[in-house]
Amino acid sequence: MIRITLAACLVLALAAPARAEETRQIGYVNTALTNLGLTRSHRVVVERFNDPKVAGVSCYISEARTGGISGTLGLAEDPGRFSLTCVATGDVQVSDGARRGERGEQVYESNTSLFFKETRVQRFIDEEQGAVVYLAWSTRLVDGSPFNAVAVVPYR
């Protein structure tokens, strides 16, 4: 059984999508004190990532993170709530390798529970309007629909 689990993990790791080269935590705020301050508090964390195939764009995502003992140990399920904004930080240049089409390309992923729940950011290229569109979404359905957010950066 352990071998099957390890093999499945290896397959998933090798099939990982294109991702932001580096995610950097910018800061956080505590939203609720847990266990009298003996463990990590509930918080909202702000991270930045740069799109590896679109030069001159930085995206900032804020996500709620669960604290307490389970959050400190990485066993908690974080709420599927987040916000996203992307800005031009230089001359925006979309590489030829950036995937086009209605399915776009995944550029960011954050695990929000130990099993099967993630926050993802997908990139779409709107060549007709000269815009790069980023869609953040949760893989967990809430009342029949995932939480989501969108950000747009013009280019030419």
Do the domain assignments include residue 54?
yes
**Matching residue, tokens 């000269």:** 130
Residue 90 placed within a domain? yes
Under-70 pLDDT residues of the chain: 1-21, 35, 37-39, 68-80, 112-116, 142-144
Look at residue 12 in the predicted model and tell me its pLDDT: 35
Does a structural domain hold residue 11? no
CA distances from 125 to 25, 129, 149 (A): 26, 9, 16
Domain that holds residue 142: 18-154
User: Does the residue 12 lie in any domain?
Assistant: no
Is the residue at 8 inside a domain?
Answer: no
Can you give the pLDDT at residue 10? 34
Query: Has residue 1 been placed in a domain?
Result: no
Strands, E assignment, the chain: 23-32, 42-50, 54-65, 82-94, 105-111, 118-126, 131-142, 145-154
pLDDT value of residue 16: 40
pTM (2 d.p.): 0.74
Q: What is the dihedral sign for C-alpha 78, 57, 99, 155?
A: positive
Domain count for the chain = 1
Nearest alpha carbon to residue 105 among 116, 127, 121: 121
